[in-house]
Structure formats: structure tokens, C-alpha cells
């Protein structure tokens, strides 16, 4: 059985002069970078059309919120937190049409700025 370092060298053609610890650190860094850039948007919003409205809070740290007012009998809100260098996975909340979701209630007193709903699928 090949160790991780050797397998990494075979897969990516790295020089065998690279130390074992260095290559393991590189693999760990690559995994962190690749997983931090992932988004669950497509799975959490599968089948939805473009949102009706959107807004964001904060300037450096805040929420990006997209709202479907009434889609198939439900008000759907999909949101994530974002900061300068990080962003959370999207979360989805639903309530009956005409009612507000928990995240909307939580952000009720926050200053909101319009967010183009078309940005959700870009």
C-alpha cells in the first residue's frame, strides 16, 4: 500500500525531492482551500426559479438573503452569512405564504440593502 506522500507524487507529478511533511502539508492546504470554496446553493435550491427579492445586511460581515414570496404554497428564504474572506453554506427556511421565517424575524431590525435577485443563480 502506498503512503499518501508517494500517491500524491504519482498523481500530481511532484518532485520526489519534496519532503514527506511538505507534501502532506500541501495536501492538507489544498483540501482546506477546495472545501472552503464549495457551495451548497445548487442542492439547497434545486428546482426553484429566480427569487422574487433579495437583500444583504452589513458591509464587511452580514447576511445575503433571497426570498421567494410564494412558491408552491410556501414562502422560501435562502440565506448565508458572508465576510471579507469567508462565507457559510446556504441555509433554507420555509413558512406558509404571507408569513415570515425565523431568519427574517432575526434580521428585522438590521439595516438592509437591496440585492438583485438575479445574482442568486450567477
Q: How far apart are CA 79 and CA 56, in angstroms?
A: 9
Q: What DSSP element (H or E) covers 91?
A: strand 91-96
What pLDDT shows up at residue 103?
A: 98
**19-59 per-position pLDDT tens digit:** 555 666 666 665 555 555 558 999 999 999 999 999 999 98
| Range(s) of the domain holding residue 23 | 4-36
Calculate what percentage of the chain has a pLDDT beyond 90.
64
pTM of the model: 0.70
Shared domain check, 108 and 83 = yes
Shared domain check, 50 and 8 = no
Shared domain check, 92 and 61 = yes
Amino acid at each position: 500500500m502506498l503512503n499518501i506522500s508517494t500517491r500524491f507524487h504519482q498523481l500530481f507529478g511532484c518532485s520526489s525531492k519534496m519532503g514527506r511533511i511538505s507534501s502532506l502539508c500541501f495536501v492538507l492546504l489544498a483540501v482546506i482551500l477546495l472545501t472552503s470554496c464549495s457551495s451548497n446553493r445548487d442542492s439547497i435550491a434545486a428546482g426553484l426559479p429566480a427569487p422574487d427579492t433579495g437583500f444583504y445586511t452589513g458591509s464587511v460581515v452580514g447576511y445575503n438573503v433571497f426570498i421567494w414570496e410564494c412558491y408552491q404554497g410556501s414562502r422560501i428564504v435562502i440565506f448565508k452569512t458572508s465576510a471579507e474572506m469567508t462565507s457559510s453554506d446556504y441555509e433554507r427556511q420555509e413558512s406558509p405564504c404571507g408569513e415570515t421565517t425565523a431568519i427574517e424575524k432575526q434580521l428585522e431590525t438590521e439595516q438592509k440593502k437591496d440585492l438583485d435577485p438575479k445574482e442568486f443563480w450567477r
